[in-house]
Structure 1
Amino acid sequence: MKFEEIKSKAESYRADMTKFLRELVKIPGESAEEKGHALRIKEEMEKVGFDKVEIDPQGNVMGYMGTGSKIIAFDGHIDTVGIGEIRNWEFDPYEGYETDEEIGGRGTSDQLGGVVSAVYGAKIMKDLGLIKPDHTILVVGSVQEEDCDGLCWQYIIKEDKIRPEFVVSTEPTDGGIYRGQRGRMEIRVEVKGVSCHGSAPERGDNAIYKMADILQDVRSLNENDASEGNEIKGLVKMLDKKYNPEWEEANFLGKGTVTASQIFYTSPSRCAVADFCAVSLDRRMTAGETWEYCLEEIRQLPSVKKYGSDVTVLMYDYDRPSYTGLVYPIECYFPTWVLPKDHKVTLSLEEAYKSLYGEKRIGSKTTVESRVNRPLVDKWTFSTNGVSIMGRNGIPVIGFGPGAEAQAHAPNEKIWKDDLVVCAAVYAALPGIYASK
């Protein structure tokens, strides 16, 4: 493997990657509105020499380098969140800015920068003849991740009939290699009541009061420990082998959490007892927790059992059309996934990184101090398309991407040019190392 040559090539594309990313930032592209991003990425892929570039019916842009039957894929979502309160920004989020070290703008870390590095990583592979004859490199710019992570890859796998040997997620990893994440699901709890005039509330059945009891139990589920004396044992119990056969990976990923994120109600007026109340629960799941388990856990809370058939616990669905108009409904369940530390893909990415850059995380002059003492192999706090690729479909996923997780969804979002270069180099080296194992 020509490691120094790979590093040199990646460095030579620093200006090209910077220009490409800055042009992407100038194109707004929130979920289901990514057409401008897709077309610009397709243009860049064609310019740098991809063998085939296409946009599928859902709107995912896919560039192929090589013609072998074995596919190694690099995924980066091309949608961004909105800008939020503009007064929190110190610069125009769509104009962005550039210094010798940084590129600022909405979507730089989360995660257009990853797409940029993947496109140029594939170009380096082609430049240096690093693609094996039996392999194809697939770079995917995927849609709607911010709205419904994994939906895009569920479509790619099930409808486009593409099943890679493994996928590199280019979500930001702050200089590290990430081999897993907690899962999540969106739960809705509904409570029925009976309305009456507010001057005599005893004549009705207040759905908001019932929900208040349920929310206290939900809070206990999140905050309690696992002591035998607790009627509601906290989610921390899943870190104990007494309760969870997958306790070791659960300790690696961290405990699950649950919190109320939205509340809704109906009432005839402000002078009446509420006859309905519902809440949304954001549930983060560690290893060993499934959607069935999590729904049943809520159904078994004392207050939920107390109110019996007046309470309904269910999972949300997602059916928003993509920018092409395609609707691909899916449950709002995003499974936990974790790639074993001794898996061939994990070891291959570690070898690629260490052969190029050594044993520790690196970064630019303003990021290296915060990175260098963190474990090289770690996990995400947030969720990625890995929930579908590996969580639903069992295809190995490994994470390595430019930027920082803490920049995601934040005002004044930025990325570091050094990260773009490092990731492009590591991507270029990875397939050959994997093929040699």
Structure 2
Amino acid sequence: MDQLVDSLAIVEENEREIVAFLKRLIKTPSLSGEEGEIAGIVSDKLSELGYGVDVDGMGNVIAQRGKGEGKTILFDGHLDHIQPGAPEGWRHGPYDAEVVDGILYGRATVDMKGALAAMIYGCAAPEVEGRVVMTHVVHEETNEGVATKKIIEEKGLDIDACVLGEPTDLQLSVGQRGRCVIKITTKGATSHASMPELGVNALYLMTPIVDRIRDENQNLPTHPFLGQGSMAVTALRCLPGAGPIVPDHCEIEVDRRLVPQETLEGVLEEMRGLAPGAQVELLVDELKCYTGYTTEADQYFPGWIIEEDHWAVQESLGALTEGMSRKPDIIGWRFSTDGIATAGQLGIPSVGFGPGDPSLAHQPNEHISLDDVVAAAKGYCALAYRLAV
């Protein structure tokens, strides 16, 4: 206990450094595929704090520390963030890192540079008997789990448990819905727009499909803890798409959120029933990394949940209670995380913990309490000390 107390004191002493480092991260734009500068900043800080550091071909930053005589615990986060959106939507510039009354404003304060700063400093404080592995990955916002899974498999990491640093408002997440992106295509025949009766408008063929998707949303399966699945049309494109031409090609993308009992095969069959006569397929995305590395990724990300009586949950609850002097609630995420790889695909016991209100992620005026960032650093310190044993 004394060693943990000493380690938590180190975190408190580093409060100004944590805040200064976080502000530097916020001032460094790192859109998906453009994470090179921030990867260098993070790598340098990790080395300065005594971690062993490696950057792989994708540009992911991997750090390790500890004696290696106990459990190996993965602390996972991502370097990238989404676009800030229209400047007029922000009271403070998205990359200005302005602080007002202890609140830091900026894109990625919540999702999830606040957690990165807290994690890096928090896990550096204690001496651990086991091993802490830290992954700061690229392209999570576009293809969550792909980079994390690649690191674990290619490096042959034997992970006993994973802590995901996505925002939980300092609570403990034990699961999430999964997701997939389905592309639906209708084919028609072109004609001059002045004579539409001579063509077959592919958009009109798509319209009843969109209506059925909207209506079916309320009938999707429900999980007792994670809630109901959902589906939403998020993109539409018609071709040729210019000039007075009736389109002969229309495609939509459907974001389908999955509860753990659902399968990809079942969802594809469901979509075919909603789109008779149309082409239905899983979307495949191409990842172009800042290093020049490219790969393709299926847009299927399975949901997951870990039971509350699992050792990783119970030890995490105890550690966080020690670290923050308050017991967190158990929650589930509505959004998707790298846990789809660690827990959903690889079966690694995973929990989530991070600073920031999840409802502020991806919003204009995204902001985070600096007190919560420091509290999270203490939480990560205690998690590293109590789990990596």
The question of whether the paired residues in 2 share the 8 Å contact of 1:195 and 1:268 is answered with no
Counterpart in 2 of 1:298?
271
2:314 is aligned with 1:347: yes
- Aligned residue identity for 1:72: I
- Aligned residue identity for 1:428: C
- How much has 1:107 moved relative to structure 2? 1.5
2:387 is aligned with 1:408: no
Counterpart in 2 of 1:55?
55
Counterpart in 1 of 2:348?
395
Which aligned pairs between 1:318-333 and structure 2 lie closer than 5 A? 318-333=285-300
**SS of the residue aligned with 1:313?**
strand
Q: How many pairs are equivalent?
A: 387
- How much has 1:176 moved relative to structure 2? 0.7
> Cα deviation per residue 1:66-114 (whole Å; 9 max; x = unaligned)?
2416421111101111211001111222121124522222211111111
TM-score, with structure 1 as normaliser: 0.84
- How much has 1:264 moved relative to structure 2? 1.0
- How much has 1:57 moved relative to structure 2? 1.2
The question of whether the paired residues in 1 share the 8 Å contact of 2:98 and 2:105 is answered with yes
- Aligned residue identity for 1:141: H
The question of whether the paired residues in 2 share the 8 Å contact of 1:108 and 1:413 is answered with yes
Counterpart in 2 of 1:313?
280
- Aligned residue identity for 1:345: A
The question of whether the paired residues in 1 share the 8 Å contact of 2:131 and 2:388 is answered with no
Which aligned pairs between 1:77-88 and structure 2 lie closer than 5 A? 77-88=78-89
Which aligned pairs between 1:91-130 and structure 2 lie closer than 5 A? 91-99=92-100, 101-126=102-127
The question of whether the paired residues in 1 share the 8 Å contact of 2:8 and 2:381 is answered with no
- Aligned residue identity for 1:328: T
2:137 is aligned with 1:142: yes
The question of whether the paired residues in 2 share the 8 Å contact of 1:18 and 1:103 is answered with no
Counterpart in 1 of 2:150?
155
Which aligned pairs between 1:141-290 and structure 2 lie closer than 5 A? 141-223=136-218, 234-235=219-220, 238-239=221-222, 250-267=223-240, 270-290=243-263
Greater shift in the superposed pair: 192-201 or 139-148: 192-201
**SS of the residue aligned with 2:295?**
coil
Distance in 1 of aligned mates of 2:236 and 2:124: 49
Counterpart in 2 of 1:433?
386
Distance in 1 of aligned mates of 2:191 and 2:93: 51
> What's the % identity of the aligned pairs?
34
2:357 is aligned with 1:384: no
> Cα deviation per residue 1:5-44 (whole Å; 9 max; x = unaligned)?
3432221111110011111111111111111111111111
**SS of the residue aligned with 2:307?**
coil
> Cα deviation per residue 1:209-259 (whole Å; 9 max; x = unaligned)?
211111111111103xxxxxxxxxx11xx23xxxxxxxxxx1211111111
Q: 1:28 to 1:350 in 2, by over 3 A?
A: same
- How much has 1:318 moved relative to structure 2? 1.8
**SS of the residue aligned with 2:290?**
coil
The question of whether the paired residues in 2 share the 8 Å contact of 1:13 and 1:421 is answered with no
Q: 1:336 to 1:402 in 2, by over 3 A?
A: same
Distance in 2 of aligned mates of 1:418 and 1:6: 18
The question of whether the paired residues in 2 share the 8 Å contact of 1:344 and 1:434 is answered with no
The question of whether the paired residues in 1 share the 8 Å contact of 2:287 and 2:297 is answered with no
Which has the higher Rg, Structure 1 or Structure 2? 1
**SS of the residue aligned with 1:260?**
strand
TM-score, with structure 2 as normaliser: 0.94
- How much has 1:197 moved relative to structure 2? 3.9
Q: What residue ranges of structure 1 are gaps of 5+ in the alignment?
A: 224-233, 240-249, 362-375
The question of whether the paired residues in 2 share the 8 Å contact of 1:14 and 1:420 is answered with no
Distance in 2 of aligned mates of 1:155 and 1:106: 27
**SS of the residue aligned with 1:125?**
coil
- How much has 1:163 moved relative to structure 2? 3.6
- Aligned residue identity for 2:291: T
- How much has 1:277 moved relative to structure 2? 1.1
